[in-house]
């Protein structure tokens, strides 16, 4: 289905104050006619072509009002922690399954043409021999992974039943500026280094992930909005590079200039995938997506951002 012309289109973003949402706003702002930013709190520092709308995604009436006049939606709002989903699966279900359903249903009723949803790769596929791709059989091992699979299922059903042009992008592990808003490994490693405390690794350090810079993720989201894509499309957005937890710790230590910073191992946590990285071949074919930022460059930039924006003490 035809993509949306940014010069005339109006796009709504849920989760606009998160890591991806913050960077996506910066990327879309110069190109798109109008951005509507939905959240529980007002979004600060609005540009002339932005508006902030107070709404919770699981509130049917509020989402109905928010969708009025919108051409496209980027749905980023989610409960994103695997560990927290294991501890409280009900809250994860309500945020990710019910919330995504409400967004899709409001978009359907408002006549929205395109919706791009943030999904996940490793958590959804579960334990599988990497690299995974769109043909890999989903077998989530955490409530978080299951909730994202349910969202993809509803998106596909809405595409086929109602003609809503849905594109689900399975993100790899996202990092970059504003990463302190996540509770991911890189954030925890950087905070440990800054505090002079050991880096904590759960397990023996051989578990792996695919780390993709937020700029590459945002580029894929823009392509998902603007390219001609069949409704119900699912794509992996990744770097294609396997990085073990031990590798990540070493990269973080090198970026910080402390290659011998201590590491402490603890027991592996439940619900976490052992190995994962993904191919982006289909995304390259369908969207023209290719990652552009290497691990070494991206992690170095992220450490410097933390130093300048998180670890710098305020002046008295």
Of the candidates 88, 211, 212, which has an alpha carbon nearest to the alpha carbon of residue 142?
A: 88
Q: Which of 238, 245, 178 is nearest to 206 (CA)?
A: 245
Is position 144 annotated as part of the catalytic site? Answer: yes
For residue 202 the two structure tokens come to 């759960």
Q: What's the distance, Cα to Cα, between the start and end of the chain in Å?
A: 55
Please name which of 237, 271, 20, 21 lies closest in space to residue 140, comparing C-alpha atoms.
271
The whole-angstrom separation of Cα 233 and Cα 165 is 9
In angstroms, rounded to a whole number, what is the distance separating the alpha carbons of residues 213 and 17?
17
CA distance 25 to 61: 25
* Separation between Cα atoms, residue 309 and residue 147, nearest integer Å: 33
CA distances from 31 to 27, 78, 102, 254, 315 (A): 8, 26, 28, 37, 36
Phi and psi dihedrals of 287, rounded to 5? -105, -20
Residue with tokens 């996940």: 120
Q: How far is CA 302 from CA 24, 47, 137, 196, in A?
A: 17, 25, 33, 18
Which residue among 144, 154, 175, 289 is the active-site one? 144
Residue 30, Cβ density class (10 Å: 0-12 exposed, 13-18 middle, ≥19 buried): exposed
Active site residues: 144
């Amino acid at each position: 289905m035809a993509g949306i012309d940014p010069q005339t289109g109006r796009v709504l973003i849920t989760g606009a104050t998160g890591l991806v949402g913050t960077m996506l706003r910066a990327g879309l702002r110069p190109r798109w006619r109008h951005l509507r930013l939905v959240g529980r709190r007002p979004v600060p520092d609005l540009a002339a072509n932005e508006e902030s709308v107070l709404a919770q995604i699981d509130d049917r009436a509020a989402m109905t009002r928010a969708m009025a006049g919108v051409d496209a939606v980027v749905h980023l709002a989610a409960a994103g922690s695997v560990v927290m989903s294991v501890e409280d699966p009900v809250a994860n279900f309500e945020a990710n399954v019910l919330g995504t359903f409400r967004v899709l249903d409001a978009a359907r009723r408002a006549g929205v043409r395109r919706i791009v949803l943030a999904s996940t790769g490793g958590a959804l596929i579960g334990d599988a021999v990497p690299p995974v791709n769109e043909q890999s059989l989903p077998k989530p091992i955490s409530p978080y992974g299951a909730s994202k699979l349910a969202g993809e299922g509803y998106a596909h059903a809405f595409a086929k039943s109602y003609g809503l042009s849905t594109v689900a992008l399975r993100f790899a592990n996202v990092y970059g500026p504003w990463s302190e808003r996540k509770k991911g490994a890189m954030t925890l490693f950087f905070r440990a280094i800054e505090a002079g405390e050991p880096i904590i690794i759960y397990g023996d350090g051989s578990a792996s992930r695919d780390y993709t810079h937020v700029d590459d993720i945002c580029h894929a989201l823009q392509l998902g909005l603007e390219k001609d894509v069949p409704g119900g499309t699912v794509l992996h957005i990744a770097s294609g590079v396997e990085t073990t937890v031990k590798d990540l710790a070493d990269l973080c230590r090198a970026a910080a200039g402390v290659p011998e910073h201590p590491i402490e191992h603890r027991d592996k946590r439940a619900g976490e995938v052992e190995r994962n990285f993904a191919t982006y071949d289909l995304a390259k074919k369908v969207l023209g997506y290719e990652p552009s930022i290497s691990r070494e460059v991206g992690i170095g930039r992220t450490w410097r951002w933390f130093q300048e924006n998180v670890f710098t003490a305020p002046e008295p």
